[in-house]
Amino acid sequence: MTERVVVAYSGGLDTSVTIGWLAERTGAEVVAVVVDVGQGGEDLDVIRRRAVDCGAVAAEVVDARDEFAAEYCLPAIRANAGYLDRYPLVSALSSPLVVKHLVAAARAHGGTVVSHGRTGTGNDLARFEVALAALAPDLTVVAPARDVAWTRDQAVAFAEEKGLPIDTSARAPYPIDQNLWGRAVEAGFLADSWRGPVEELYAHTADPTLERDADEVVITFDAGYPVAIDGETVTPYQAILELNRRAGAQGVGRLDLVEDRLVGIKTREVYEAPGAITLITAHQELEAITIERDLARFKRGVDQRWAELVHDGLWFAPLRTALDAFVDETQRHVTGEVRVNLHGGRATVTGRRSEAGRFDVGSATYDTGDGVDQSFAKGFVQLWGLPSKLSAARDARLGGVRS
């Protein structure tokens, strides 16, 4: 029986060349799997036919949009996930889901080898192959873009030589990766960290400097999950899609940053993530009134570690699963509404309320009727400052100097 190789196919340059290279060099039958994680753009049936035209014996499209939103994006919201406190994990979140369906396709088609178009120094290579090792260690992985070390120019030349129907966007000055959670652009002229991004680079956000009326949205959360927008019940997919549209129309969600790749290389990335930024911003503000102080302080460290694990390709690591259990516990009372003003490229929270909130006007005011007896403060401050007082006395006795 002819060996079968199952390829994670996006329709872009790298994976189109991967199909052509595998078919030519190995003689194996190539099966392409297109996973729809809300990337939009081209019709996925067109992409499926392109895979066949590139040499695949079969190609299938998996609609994973709802699954991606509910099982990958929602945990990121509850963990306020932002790598380096900024990047909303666009490709990092979709990679483990794509690998999951790639493995399922390999089992269904009798494939013993899986392949992808990720390059050797990019984060996605580790994300793909570590996930594959976790889910299907028996499968062999072939990565032509890494093993052959194609440059972008060489890949285009190979496609032209073999008559592969690559997408015309493959000839663009920079590669683009996108899904429901956001859009990432890198390389090309953006490799120069001093050069500013041009407006033509953006597709999901309007120019935030243009004058327009503000948009106000009320997001309802239940146990940390967004469940309604302006009072209308929504699914996770609908919530992200709607806020991508509304926040994007206000220029919300543009990010331009230098980040650390897993291998230690610094890279300049430009992102658009209007829905993600809006939802995380709103969720953080609801946590501010519903989570107790010490728990909130500790959770900030957990959130950061969660984002680092996912960014580094460790979605299936035991630590990420354990951190999810902690986050689940923190979200029991994160239920309520948050009002967000979308305008001028910013998502600004202007109101938050919750029946489970710990915010008490009576104890937070300095006006008449303050619910806290001010006389309590004297003894509390004396006890709170006692360790510092004792340390200062010791240092003075021993001739130490405190600054």
CA distance 284 to 78: 9
Other Cβ atoms closer than 10 A to 129: 18
Task: Enumerate the known binding-site residues.
Answer: 8-16, 87, 117, 119, 123-124, 127, 259, 271
DSSP SS3 for 115? strand
The predicted structure's pLDDT at residue 147? 75
Task: Enumerate the known binding-site residues for ATP.
Answer: 8-16, 117
Which tens digits make up the pLDDT trace of 43-68?
A: 888 888 888 888 899 999 999 999 99
Instruction: Name the average pLDDT for the chain.
Output: 89
Q: What tokens appear for 231 in the block?
A: 């009072």
CA angle at 66 for the pair 180 and 105, rounded to the nearest 5°: 95
Least confident of 12-26, 131-145, 162-176: 162-176
Find out whether 263 and 311 touch, Cβ atoms under 8 Å.
no
DSSP SS3 for 382? helix
Range 4-177: architecture per CATH: 3-Layer(aba) Sandwich (3.40)
CA distance 214 to 326: 37
Which tens digits make up the pLDDT trace of 87-113?
A: 999 999 999 999 999 999 999 999 999
Task: Enumerate the known binding-site residues for L-aspartate.
Answer: 119, 123-124
Assigned CATH class of 179-353: alpha beta
Q: Per-residue pLDDT averaged across 157-186, rounded?
A: 76
Provide CB contacts within 8 A for 312, sequence distance 6+.
123, 126, 262
Q: Is the alpha carbon torsion for 339, 341, 342, 345 positive or negative? A: negative
Q: Do the domains 4-177 and 179-353 sit in the same CATH topology, yes or no? A: no
DSSP SS3 for 342? strand
Closest CA to 169 of 183, 180, 181: 183
Task: Enumerate the known binding-site residues for L-citrulline.
Answer: 87, 123, 127, 259, 271
Model-level pTM greater than 0.85? yes
List the domain boundaries for the chain: 4-177, 179-353
Find out whether 208 and 251 touch, Cβ atoms under 8 Å.
yes
The predicted structure's pLDDT at residue 23? 79
pLDDT above 60: residue 171: no
Q: Per-residue pLDDT averaged across 130-150, rounded?
A: 86
89: left (phi over 0), alpha (psi -120 to 50) or beta: left
